[in-house]
Amino acid sequence: MNNSKAILKTPGTMKIIPADIPVPKDDEVLINIEYVGICGSDVHGFESGPFIPPKDPNQEIGLGHECAGTVVAVGRGVKKFKIGDKVNIEPGVPCGKCRYCLEGKYNICPDVDFMATQPNYRGALTHYLCHPESFTYKLPENMDTMEGALVEPAAVGIHAAMLADVKPGKKIVILGAGCIGLMTLQACRCMGATDIVVVDVLAKRLEMALKLGARHVIDGAAADVASRCQELLGDAGADIVFESAGAQATVKLAPYLVMRGGKIMIVGTVPGDTPINFLKINREVSIQTVFRYANRFPVTIEAISSGRFDVKSMVTNIYDYEDVQRAFEESVNNKKDIIKGVIKVAG
């Protein structure tokens, strides 16, 4: 067996280099990685470097954290897995000791070791990867490893919908129909909501939103979004507004769409200082940020396995591992056509 890994040599340049095959610790499994999803954070890292730059300028930077593959070795203390199991991983390993971990909110652990960022910046774009048994999940027989890799972004949508307490009958607006917005749409559908409006400026994304269950879509570049949402949902507005574009413009728009006593869920990563018109939400509207997920992988895997959550149809581009440079260049330069790209490492 030979191993290699794709690293970010400099912003805009990926390079595949030789790597040792890691040896699993007692509580780890060794996985032959088959698919890696390209996340928006990976694209940002490719363009500009990591969101949180390493303190050491010589730190090796890996990209990729949405991954799945097959177990090829197990540590001597591993009990849940055997060689040949199809698995995916939860890419953040928390400390397990702090207040947040002990309260079950390990996604906000200040010492989490999350792939492709601090402290180790190890990426999933490699043939062989070790990961703790406790954050590894066996895939059902009817799920393949491409679907397994996409559990991670789907779990973001599930987490957002569950935090928002989505229920049948709720009126929902989703701002942004990129991967996470569409995952949030599907999560809301899984939880029984049907009156869902999706807003974006790209036609291909709006077409996909309709395919995945949105009742209405709005081209944000061509319409007055607030007026159109009132026409579709009523003058009161939406029970829940999900901001999933990660843009200041959509954050500013959200208060004009939500009803009294409603919720604004900030799912996207919004840069900089963003003014909010608090007079528009001064009727017990709540604003909550959504950070990754906690305890959501099992329910997300079940939703995909049952057929209620379709991640595969969102994949528009599949790249070979050797074409990793092209994969990221196209992800940057062809955003209007790419909804979700994945890299086939092995299999």
Per residue of the chain (347 residues), what is the pLDDT tens digit? Answer: 799 999 999 999 999 999 999 999 999 999 999 999 999 999 999 999 988 899 898 999 999 999 999 999 999 999 999 999 999 999 999 999 999 999 999 999 999 999 999 899 999 999 999 999 999 999 999 999 999 999 999 999 999 999 999 999 999 999 999 999 999 999 999 999 999 999 999 999 999 999 999 999 999 999 999 999 999 999 999 999 999 999 999 999 999 999 999 999 999 999 899 999 999 999 999 999 999 999 999 999 999 999 999 999 999 999 999 999 999 999 999 999 999 999 999 96
Q: Which of 177, 165, 80, 169 is nearest to 131 (CA)?
A: 80
For domain 4-150+315-344, say whether CATH 3.90.180.10 is its number: yes
Mention every residue, 6+ apart, whose C-beta is less than 8 A from residue 100. 94, 106, 108, 109, 110
Q: Which CATH class is domain 156-289?
A: alpha beta
CA dihedral sign, ordered 155, 160, 163, 164: negative
Q: How far is CA 343 from CA 123, 138, 192, 281, 337, in A?
A: 13, 21, 32, 42, 17
Q: E strands, 19-127, where?
A: 28-37, 66-74, 86-89, 92-93, 113-114
**DSSP, res 272:** S
Spatial separation of the C-alpha atoms in residues 216 and 230, rounded to whole Å? 12
Q: CB–CB of 218/250 below 8 Å? A: no
3-state secondary structure of 95: coil
The rounded Cα 78 to chain-centroid distance in angstroms is 28
Instruction: Name the burial class of residue 198, with classes exposed (0-12), middle (13-18) and buried (19+) by CB atoms within 10 angstroms of its CB.
Output: buried
Identify the pLDDT of residue 347.
66
- Say what the pLDDT of residue 81 is: 98
Give the separation between CA 193 and CA 191, rounded to whole angstroms: 6
Asked if omega into 119 is within 30° of 0 (cis), the reply is yes
Q: What token pair was written down for 337?
A: 């056509």
Q: Domain residue spans in the chain?
A: 4-150+315-344, 156-289
Domains 4-150+315-344 and 156-289 equal at CATH topology level: no
